[in-house]
Structure 1
Amino acid sequence: MNEEGRGPSAEPLLALIGEHRESIRAALDDEQHALLLTRLTALAEAPPDDTMAVRRALQGVRLALRPLPFEHPVRVMVDGARLVAAPPGPAAVTEALALLSLMAAQAPDPDPDPDPAPAGPDPLLLEPALSAAEATSRCGGAPPSELIRLPDPPNGDRYPRFQFPAGGGTPHEVVLEVNRLLLADIDPRGAASWWLGANTWLGGTPVSLLGLLPDHELVGAAVALVEGE
């Protein structure tokens, strides 16, 4: 524990990633693993004396780890966000650089399936959504970058419907606030997964509690993910 009873700093998370890097590679698909490496690169390249830049880069690393199984030790640490961590310092950048070199050197799967089964439908694209034209109409102009926008090449961009009031109108302000915290503009799938996935802090899926819980509780759960483990 850090002083004043605050949660652990960034270094224990990065050390745990290094310890479990092989099982992380096995649990993530190629796209998810590439995203994690990209986020680690951003952390390694962040100016060590720029606390906000390091914090934002670390936030990206945490979000890239969300596809791990709930029982994975690294996911358990990421989800255990009831304590706010101390601001990450220069050591986090150094640790990320060392970790990146280890993970980037990991060999691909030795025996890839030569004829893999076709992938099933993307569950995120099965969620009720507005088209780009409908979102533009609701927003009275170009949808803000904070909205989750999921590319769907055959049908055009989709904006998950939960971001808007059921009876019409502009996006929920609390959704925009949470999406800003979750970096929905650069990781829309991670943000959508947070809203639609189980959340031990809230005791349910955030999307099911939208409008039932006070807005500050939803924001607090997102802040807990971003700032603590």
Structure 2
Amino acid sequence: MGLRHALTALAERWDDVRSALSPEDFGELTALVEELLAREGDPAAAEEIAEEVVDLLRGRLRADHPVLVALRERDERRAGAALLPPPVLRTRLGLGPPPSEVEREALSRLLDAPALTADELRAAGHDPGDPGLIRLEHPGGAARWPAFQFAADGRPLPLVRTINRILEAADDPFGAADWWLGDNGWLGGSPVRLMGRVPDERLISAARAETTEV
């Protein structure tokens, strides 16, 4: 499964994992996760650290532990298993500021980005249910589609649709939006600002690196 999927699964069971490990092993796990999150912009280094995390957990947790089950799943489709932006993951793992502060900052950045409504999509002749487009649910249930996905004439951009599929945006819209709008250390900037300025294949390669299997 993807690296961030694995981190999300670990975050969901963090307290359970803590109780299953010795203080020494838990300290080692915490240090590895901190280093992994710090290296998110370097896919190769992050993958190596993730393998160390996996090896540690495999040697300490029972085989049917939910975290190990999640780590073995190549294509996760669990309801409610949306990937969390890295700052929120840090908070869930007890490695960052209070959840209210971090989640507000991370989510507001995504929800406040320019976006279209379902009516605007329909008026342009597009299907709001298109799985190739990122759909973000706002508080209260209103949905918005980030505007960077569309050309000036209102058509969905083929490059965005391709990368959204790689990022599994239909299952993890906030994770996909975070990838597009956040800084990417490998690319040297946010992907949304680099569209048209770097070759499309470079952006596609960066998206594939994000979902590299561990």
Task: Tell me whether the two structures share a fold, i.e. TM-score over 0.5.
Answer: yes
Shift of 1:35: 8.6
Matches within 5 A, 1:67-146: 72-82=34-44, 95=58, 97-98=64-65, 100=67, 122-146=108-132
Q: Distance in 2 between matches of 1:151 and 1:179?
A: 17
1:221 aligns with 2:196: no
TM-score, structure 2 length as denominator? Answer: 0.56
Q: Distance in 1 between matches of 2:167 and 2:144?
A: 18
Q: Distance in 1 between matches of 2:141 and 2:9?
A: 26
Shift of 1:151: 0.5
8 A Cα contact 1:148 1:184, kept in partner:
yes
Q: Distance in 1 between matches of 2:171 and 2:208?
A: 17
Shift of 1:132: 1.3
Correspondence for 1:49: none
Correspondence for 2:30: none
> Gapped runs of 5+ residues in structure 1?
1-9, 18-23, 25-32, 39-70, 102-107
1:167-192 CA-partner distances (Å, limit 9, x unpaired): 22311111111111111111111000
1:185 aligns with 2:170: yes
Q: When the two structures are aligned, how many residues end up with a matched partner?
A: 153
1:37 aligns with 2:12: yes
What SS does the corresponding residue of 1:122 show, helix, strand or coil? helix
What SS does the corresponding residue of 1:211 show, helix, strand or coil? coil
8 A Cα contact 1:84 1:228, kept in partner:
no
Shift of 1:134: 1.2
Structure 2 vs 1, CA of residues 192 and 181 (structure 1 numbering), >3 Å: closer, same or farther? Answer: same
Structure 2 vs 1, CA of residues 173 and 36 (structure 1 numbering), >3 Å: closer, same or farther? Answer: farther
What SS does the corresponding residue of 1:227 show, helix, strand or coil? coil
Q: Distance in 2 between matches of 1:35 and 1:174?
A: 32
Shift of 1:100: 2.2
Structure 2 vs 1, CA of residues 135 and 34 (structure 1 numbering), >3 Å: closer, same or farther? Answer: farther
RMSD: 4.1
What SS does the corresponding residue of 2:116 show, helix, strand or coil? strand
> Gapped runs of 5+ residues in structure 2?
14-32, 69-92
Q: Distance in 1 between matches of 2:122 and 2:34?
A: 40
What SS does the corresponding residue of 1:79 show, helix, strand or coil? coil
1:129-179 CA-partner distances (Å, limit 9, x unpaired): 0011112333533441121101014472010000101x2231111111111
1:31-55 CA-partner distances (Å, limit 9, x unpaired): xx679539xxxxxxxxxxxxxxxxx
Q: Percent identity?
A: 34
